[in-house]
């Protein structure tokens, strides 16, 4: 029993000692590592903080881009005022600024990266118990990269067989020149008749047809000339007689 109680005392004492060894930050700049936590608290906590007090913390966790900060504030009590114009607790982190006072605690705030600035201010009049907050530094969850496996279908390397067939002999026995000559040669019956013969036949028939007409015209001319000749002969005779 004595040994068991001693071991229990060591375990509890170790836990309490671990809690005491947490770093309570002063009003300045601080750097943390992922997986660690720190404490910020008002002066004289848990007693009332003093009037006209100002404190600013600037906390960075390495590395800033791959971490974020989380606020856990189990105790928070400041003087309350509309718009937090009197005592106030201001948290600034990338892209955001929030102001707390009264019992409105910053508990649960999570920053967008591993940096924050905290400003605590009290006015000259009324004070309150103050605050105690734990600030944790956590690494951001990394998205696992997935490797896509591409299945390739093997291509066949077999060479296709080409069949070469000879053309029919009936088509190859006729030379190209003979076929062209047979196609272009004129018929035999047309080539035996010269072109001049066909042109002379109409002229011969035309001359045979015109010959009787010419003879008739000559006879008419002779008949017409006879009276004139007889008249002239008579006149010649008369002239001879006169002479």
| Domain limit, last residue, from 139, 169, 187 | 139
Q: pTM of this prediction?
A: 0.53
Is residue 41 in some structural domain? yes
Closest listed residue to residue 24, CA positions, set 34, 37, 35 = 37
Is 228 exposed, middle or buried, given 0-12, 13-18 or 19+ CB atoms closer than 10 A?
Answer: exposed
Is 138 exposed, middle or buried, given 0-12, 13-18 or 19+ CB atoms closer than 10 A?
Answer: middle
Is residue 24 in some structural domain? yes
Q: Output the domain CATH number for residue 92.
A: 2.60.120.290
Same domain, 33 and 130: yes
Is residue 106 in some structural domain? yes
| Domain limit, last residue, from 116, 139, 162 | 139
Closest listed residue to residue 118, CA positions, set 82, 69, 65 = 69
Cβ atoms within 10 Å of 162's Cβ, excluding its own: 5
**Predicted pLDDT of residue 99:** 98
Strand-by-strand arrangement of the 130-139 sheet: 37-41, 130-139, 67-77
Mean pLDDT of 4-10: 43
HSE-up (13 A, CA, CB side) for residue 12: 6
CB within 8 Å of 237: residues ≥ 6 apart: none
* % of the chain residues with pLDDT over 90: 49
Is residue 220 in some structural domain? yes
Mean pLDDT of 21-27: 92
Full residue range of the structural domain in which residue 231 is found = 211-243
Is residue 7 in some structural domain? no
CB 53 within 8 A of CB 103: no
CB 93 within 8 A of CB 12: no
Phi/psi for 102 (5° steps) reads 60, -130
Is residue 6 in some structural domain? no
pLDDT bracket for residue 79 (50, 70, 90): very high
Closest listed residue to residue 117, CA positions, set 99, 93, 88, 96 = 93
| Domain limit, last residue, from 139, 156, 189 | 139
Is residue 204 in some structural domain? no
Same domain, 29 and 130: yes
Same domain, 237 and 135: no
Same domain, 34 and 130: yes
Element at 45 (helix H, strand E) = none
Mean pLDDT of 162-179: 48
Write out pLDDT tens, residues 25-51: 999 999 999 999 999 999 999 999 999
| 210 φ/ψ sector (left φ>0, alpha ψ -120 to 50, else beta) | alpha
**Predicted pLDDT of residue 120:** 99
Determine the Cα–Cα distance for residues 57 and 47; give it in Å rounded to an integer.
Answer: 21
**Predicted pLDDT of residue 153:** 62
Is residue 149 in some structural domain? no
Same domain, 130 and 229: no
How many domains would you assign to the chain?
2
Write out pLDDT tens, residues 134-167: 999 999 987 766 666 566 666 656 555 555 555 5
């Amino acid at each position: 029993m004595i040994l068991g109680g001693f071991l229990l005392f060591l375990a509890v004492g170790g836990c309490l000692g671990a809690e005491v060894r947490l770093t309570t930050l002063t009003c300045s700049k601080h750097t943390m590592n992922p997986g660690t936590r720190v404490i910020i608290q008002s002066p004289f906590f848990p007693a009332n903080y003093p009037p006209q007090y100002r404190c600013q913390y600037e906390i960075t966790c390495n590395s800033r881009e791959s971490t974020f900060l989380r606020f856990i504030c189990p105790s928070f009590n400041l003087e309350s005022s509309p718009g937090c114009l009197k005592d106030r607790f201001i948290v600034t982190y990338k892209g955001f600024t929030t102001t707390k006072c009264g019992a409105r605690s910053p508990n649960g705030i999570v920053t967008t990266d591993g940096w924050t600035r905290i400003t605590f201010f009290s006015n000259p009049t009324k004070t309150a118990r103050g605050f105690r907050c734990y600030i944790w530094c956590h690494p951001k969850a990394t998205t696992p990269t997935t490797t896509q496996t591409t299945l390739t279908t093997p291509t066949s390397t077999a060479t296709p067989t080409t069949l070469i067939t000879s053309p029919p002999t009936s088509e190859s026995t006729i030379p190209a020149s003979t076929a062209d000559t047979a196609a272009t040669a004129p018929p035999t019956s047309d080539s035996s008749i010269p072109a001049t013969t066909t042109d002379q036949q109409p002229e011969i028939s035309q001359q045979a047809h015109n010959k009787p007409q010419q003879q008739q015209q000559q006879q008419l001319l002779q008949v017409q000339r006879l009276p004139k000749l007889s008249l002239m002969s008579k006149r010649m005779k008369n002239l001879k007689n006169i002479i």
